[in-house]
Amino acid sequence: MKTKIIIDTDPGVDDALAIVMAFNSPELEVLGLTTVFGNVSVEQAATNALSLVELSGVDVPVYKGEAVPVSRTPAPYADFVHGDDGFGNINWPAPKGKLQDQDAVSFIIEQVRKYPGEVTLIPLGPLTNIARALEQAPDIAEKVKEVVLMGGATYVPGNVTPVAEANIIGDPHAADKVMTAKWPLVMIGLDVTSKVLLTHEAMDRIAGSNTEQCKFLKKASDFYIEFYRQTVGISGCMVHDPSCIAYVLDPSLFKTQSGRLRVVTEGITMGQTTFAPGTRKYAYPGWEDLPMQKVCLEVDGDRLLAMLEKRLTTPLH
Ligand code: RIB
Ligand code: CA
């Protein structure tokens, strides 16, 4: 039986890589794409999600989600990383497809209740939609199969402050609510995603497959790869979001540790994910009665990249 997934996304170039990878994976049934602000506005994210559906020739509904964080003042969009349009400023034509009338949050709630124990939520942006769904329907916590999210940094620096990763600081209050909910959660953060680099050469090989999807991904990733060359001094880009799809397809690619997670919601370390390994008790409050979640700390990068390249270059439609 296929694994039912909902991808919550702020496309975004690495989101696009993840979404195409998911569309090209016969093991997965993508129930829908729900969109959220982050790399771009939620309107642009929704347009980009529609473009990815059209490009891939799949019948997957797209839902517009939350436009702003639950309580912090909105952060600027990451247009310096993904371009103003979220696709590297390639002036991709507007998609013909239309958004669903239903909003993202009610879609998530509806699907998790319709398929209890079967739906894996894969958040690839700020966690606002997921937190709103939990708020409106606390019962989904025991109905979700698993939450596999891209975000956070445990034992490595952040990428937007010395301690904070972009998706988490995008909505730290939502992130703390999601990380402390009583559902099975896997955090795929910078500890692993910053160690998996998709090189220029690999991107050229992928483009060489000459599929519509890969020609698009090559065009859209040039700006993103240039950002990494200029800021991090590498020739390639970090494979953040596709790592979540890879985890759902083959968790053995990762080594995880169990423990409790909290997120700092204000001050100079806002957006920091704090991990308490195991069940150790602490003198200070805030760590009692928290669920044990999984944090990915190691990854077989070569196997992940091989899976990514294979999936991207083998469209199903
Ligand atoms: O920190 C990387 C994450 O933030 C990725 O999901 C990227 O797409 C941005 O959303
Ligand atoms: Ca993303």
Ligand 2 centroid – CA 224 distance (Å): 12
* Amino acid letter for position 250: D
Q: How confident is the model at residue 317 (pLDDT cuts 50, 70, 90)?
A: confident
Tokens representing 119 are: 């739906």
pLDDT tens digits along 139-154:
999 999 999 999 999 9
The helix/strand/coil state of 258 is strand
Quote the Cα angle for 186-304-147, to 5°. 20
Q: How confident is the model at residue 235 (pLDDT cuts 50, 70, 90)?
A: confident
Q: Which among 196, 303, 182 has a CA at the least distance from the CA of 249?
A: 303
Fold adopted by 3-312: Inosine-uridine Nucleoside N-ribohydrolase; Chain A (3.90.245)
In 156-196, the DSSP E strands lie at 185-188
CB 194 within 8 A of CB 93: no
Atom of ligand 1 nearest to the CA of 124: 6
| Mean pLDDT, the chain, integer | 97
Atom of ligand 1 nearest to the CA of 241: 6
Tokens representing 93 are: 């034509």
* Amino acid letter for position 274: T
So which residues are the catalytic ones? 10, 240
pLDDT tens digits along 239-292:
999 999 999 999 999 999 999 999 999 999 999 999 999 999 999 999 989 999
**pTM (predicted TM-score):** 0.98
CB 172 within 8 A of CB 180: no
